[in-house]
Chain A
C-alpha cells in the first residue's frame, strides 16, 4: 500500500472510508464503482460462455443437460447484454472522462449519477437472483409465448431486474445530454468536441428514447405472465409477433448503444497514435448521429422469417443497408487518418487496429444477413452468432480495452506494463478469430444456434471454436492480471504519457477531486497534433 500513498493528492486519496466511496458523488469514483461491477458481470457472463463452449466439444453435449445448457446461454446473453455491453463504455470511461474532456468539475447531476449505480446494482442483483435461484431458460430475447406462458423459469423476477437497470441507463443518458449541452469549457464549441463526446451524445439519445420501450415491453410480458392479460398470447387474443416488434424496437438500437461509444474511443486513439488530426472529422461526427437516428428504423431485420409481411421485410432490408453506410464511412476515415501518419504501436493502438479489422469483418458479414434471401438461410444459425460477436466482442470489447489502456494512466496514475499490454492485444485478437471464424462456416452449413446437441458432421468446427475460446479466455484474464498488478507496482504515470490532445491530459494523473485547478479555455479544433516535421525536430 505504500506505493498508493506515493501518489500525489487526488480523487483516489481524498478520503479512504468505505462511506466516502459508497456515497460519493464524484463522477470519477462512481466510474470506478461501475468498473468493479461490470468487470464482475463480464467474467460471470464469460464463465457461462466458457462452459457452453466446453459442452459443445461433443455432438451429444459433453457436460450439462439440455436444461442447464439453455440456462447457460440465457445467463450469458442477459448478463453480457444488459450488465456489460450496454453500460460498459458510457458508465466507466464515459463517466470518468466526459467531465474531464469537457473541462467540467463533474456531470450535471452528480447525485443522479450515484443513483444510477445503485439502480444498476439493484437490477443486477435481482437478475442474478432469478438466474441462480429459479433459473431462466428463455434466451435473452424472452420470445412469447414461450416466456409468457410455457417456461417455468423466473421470468418476472428477471424482467424486474432488467427494468431497474433500464432506469440506470436512462439516468446516465439524461446526465450526459445535459452535461454536454451545459458544462462545456469556455471556447469548447460543438465542432471542437472530440468524437468520443459526440459518440456518447448519440448513445445517450438512444438510451433515453429506446429504453422506455423496452421497459414497457417487459412489463407487458410480466403482466401477461402474472395476470393473464392478453397482449402477446394468441390464445388470449394477443399477438406473439407484437412482442418481437416491440422488443427489437429497443434491442436493435441497443446494438448501437453498444458500438457507438466504441467508435468514439477508436476515434480518439487512432489520431493520438498517428500524430495526425482525424480524417473527415465532421463526417465521423455526423455518421454517429445518423446511426443513432436510422437505428430506430431497422428492427424488422430480426424478423425476416418471423411472419411479418413481405413489404415490411423489403423496407427493413433497404433501411438496414442504409444504416451500414455511416459505419463504412467511419472505417474509411480511420484509414485516412493512418495515411501519412507517424504511427506508434503502444497497446491502445494495437487494440484499436484490432478493432478496425474485427469490426470490418463483423460489418461486412452484416451485409449477408441484411440481404433478404441470404438471411432466410443464415438467420438463427451460428453465422448470426459469429456476425454479432464480431461486432460486439471483436468490436466493442476490443474498443473497451483500447480505451482502458489509453486512459489507464490518467485513471490510476500508473502505467500498465507495455509488453504485457501488447501481448494481451495479440492473444485476444488470435483467440477471438479462432473462436468465432469457424462459426461462420458452421452457420452456412446449417448448424442452429441455441442447440445443446448437434449433428456429428459439425464437430470438427465446434472443437476448433472451443479451442479458440480457451485462448480467448486466457487473453481476457491477462489484462485482469497485469492491470491489477500495475495498480500496486506500475510505474508512475506522467500527466500526458501519449502527448495527446484533449483537456483530460491537461490535468494531473490521477486528477484531483475537482478535476482542474482552474477551468481551461479551448482555442482550437480537436486532434491538433503538431506537424510531424516539428515532432522529429
Chain B
C-alpha cells in the first residue's frame, strides 16, 4: 500500500472522508486566519515601529458576541453532520449477512453462517451488507478496519455489532485498536473483499460439514436444553398456542421467540434479541418469563462464546428467520 493514501473501500468510507475533508478545510481556514492575524500584528505593531496606532478598541463586546456566535454556529453544523453519519453507521440493515466474531488475547476468530471458520482474517463479499456480531473472551478489544473507516470496541460479556458494505475487492488491514496486553500490536490480520463468484468459491473451499444453525441444534441437545425447552422449528405460528399446548412443560418453548416481545413475570416486556438469549443461558434467574418458575441452572463458564453464537443462531432459526 501507498505510504500517503488510504483506500476507501466501503460505502461508508467516502462519506467519512467528505466530513474529514470539510473539517480539514475549515481548520485550514481558521488556522490561516489565526496565524495570519498573529503574524500581521507582531510584524505591524512591533515595539520598534513607532507609528501612531490610533485608539485601541474600547468596546469589545461586539467582537465577543460576533465571534462567539460564529463559533457556535459552525460547531453546531459540524455536530449535526458527524452525528447523522454516526447514527447511520451503527444501524445495520435487517437483511445483512451475519458473521460472528470472537476476540481473545491475541487473535480474532470469525464464523460464517455456513460454518466456515477463520482466524485473523475475514472474507466478505463485495456489495453486500455484512453485520459482525462481536464479543470477547477476555479483555476489551476493538475491531477496526481503517479502509472502511469503522471500528468498535469488543467487550467481554456483551454483544457489540458493526456493519459495512464493502465496495472494492482487495485485502485490507484489520487492527485491534483497544490496548489489550502484551501482544496488542500483533492482534490483527486482513479483511479480504471478494467478488461474488470468488466469495462463493471461497465458501465452498472452506465449507464446514455443518452450518452454524445445525451446529446450534446439536448443541441444544448436547447441553440438555431440549429436555425442557420445546423447539420444533415451526416458527411464529407455533407461538400462538404455546401456553395451552405446553402447559405441562416446565420451560418456555422457544419456537417463534426470537425477535418478538416476551412478557416477564415482573411485568416488564423485553424483545428477545441476541443479548436476551445470551443472558437467559448464562444468567437464567435474571429475566424469568411470565407464568414460569426459574428451574434452569446457569450455563456460565460451561458454554463457550463460540457455542453461544451457534445456539443463538439456532434459536433465531426457530423464528423462521433465515438463520444466517
Contacts and interface: CB of A to CB of B under 8 A. Distances in A.
A371 B81 contact: yes
Nearest to A536: B50
A321 interface: yes
A274 B60 CA distance: 17
Interface stretch (B151-159, B250-258, B260-268): B151-159
A335 B52 CA distance: 19
A364 B30 contact: yes
Given A357-B35, A370-B79, A376 B140 contact: no
Contacts of A280: 60-61, 63-64
A238 to B, nearest CB: 9
B105 interface: yes
Contacts of A341: 41, 45, 53
Interface string B7-38: 00000000110011001001100110011011
A316 to B, nearest CB: 10
Given A335-B34, A340-B53, A371-B23, A307 B16 contact: no
Contacts of B78: 321, 367, 370-371
Interface in A361-375: 361, 364-365, 367-368, 370-375
B20 A377 contact: yes
Contacts of A1: none
B16 A373 contact: yes
A340 B185 contact: no
Interface string B83-101: 1111101100000000000
A160 B155 CA distance: 27
A344 interface: yes
B42 interface: yes
Contact of A357 (B20, B38, B160): B38
Contact of B82 (A342, A371, A458): A371
A446 B6 contact: yes
A232 to B, nearest CB: 11
A343 B79 contact: no
B83 A332 contact: no
B56 A371 contact: no
Interface string A524-537: 00000000110010
B292 interface: no
B23 A448 contact: no
Contacts of A67: 182
Interface residues of B, number: 83
Contact of A380 (B46, B81, B151, B186): B151
B79 A150 contact: no
Interface string A290-325: 000000000000001111001001100110011011
Interface in B234-256: none
Contacts of B105: 150
B56 A305 contact: no
A432 to B, nearest CB: 15
Contact of B173 (A360, A368, A446, A452): A446
A441 interface: yes
B180 interface: yes
B79 A307 contact: no
A325 B45 contact: no
A444 B17 CA distance: 10
Nearest to B36: A335
B4 interface: yes
Looking at B41, B75, B82, the one whose CB has the most chain A CB atoms below 10 A away is: B82
Contacts of A130: none
A276 B157 CA distance: 60
Interface stretch (A138-146, A396-404, A500-508): A138-146
B155 A240 contact: yes
A529 B115 CA distance: 78
A374 B72 CA distance: 19
A356 B19 contact: no
Nearest to B65: A283
Interface stretch (B122-130, B141-149, B191-199, B215-223): B141-149
Interface in A466-480: none
Contacts of A484: none
Nearest to B106: A66
Interface in A331-360: 331-333, 335-336, 338-345, 353, 356-357, 360
Contacts, number: 261
A380 B45 contact: no
A513 interface: no
B281 to A, nearest CB: 15
Contacts of A138: 179
A325 B42 contact: no
A454 interface: yes
Contacts of B160: 307
A329 to B, nearest CB: 6
A445 B87 contact: no
B34 A380 contact: no
A460 interface: yes
Given A234-B158, A328-B67, A446-B175, A336 B60 contact: yes
A332 B63 contact: yes
Looking at B26, B84, B149, the one whose CB has the most chain A CB atoms below 10 A away is: B149
A241 B180 CA distance: 15
A460 B83 contact: no
Contact of B38 (A235, A335, A345): A335
Nearest to A344: B47
Contacts of B185: 66, 448, 450-454
B1 interface: yes
Given A137-B181, A234-B155, A364-B31, A374 B6 contact: no
Contacts of B144: 380, 446, 448
Contacts of A451: 184-185
B177 interface: yes
A328 B63 CA distance: 13
Given A335-B37, A360-B34, A454-B185, A371 B79 contact: yes
B83 A339 contact: no
Contacts of A377: 16, 20, 146, 149-151
Nearest to B29: A364
B41 A329 contact: no
Given A361-B31, A368-B20, A371-B82, A339 B153 contact: no
Interface string B54-79: 10110011011001100110011011
B149 to A, nearest CB: 4
B139 interface: yes
B302 interface: no
B209 interface: no
A202 interface: no
B305 to A, nearest CB: 12
B57 to A, nearest CB: 7
A146 B151 contact: no
Contacts of A454: 185
23 contacts: A145-B140, A150-B138, A280-B61, A304-B86, A305-B151, A307-B153, A325-B75, A328-B67, A340-B56, A342-B47, A342-B53, A343-B42, A360-B34, A374-B23, A374-B82, A377-B16, A377-B20, A377-B150, A379-B177, A380-B177, A446-B147, A448-B176, A451-B184
Given A375-B82, A451-B185, 5 more contacts: A141-B179, A338-B38, A343-B47, A356-B34, A374-B20
A-B CB proximity, top 7 nearest: A446-B146, A234-B157, A371-B82, A372-B86, A373-B85, A451-B185, A380-B177
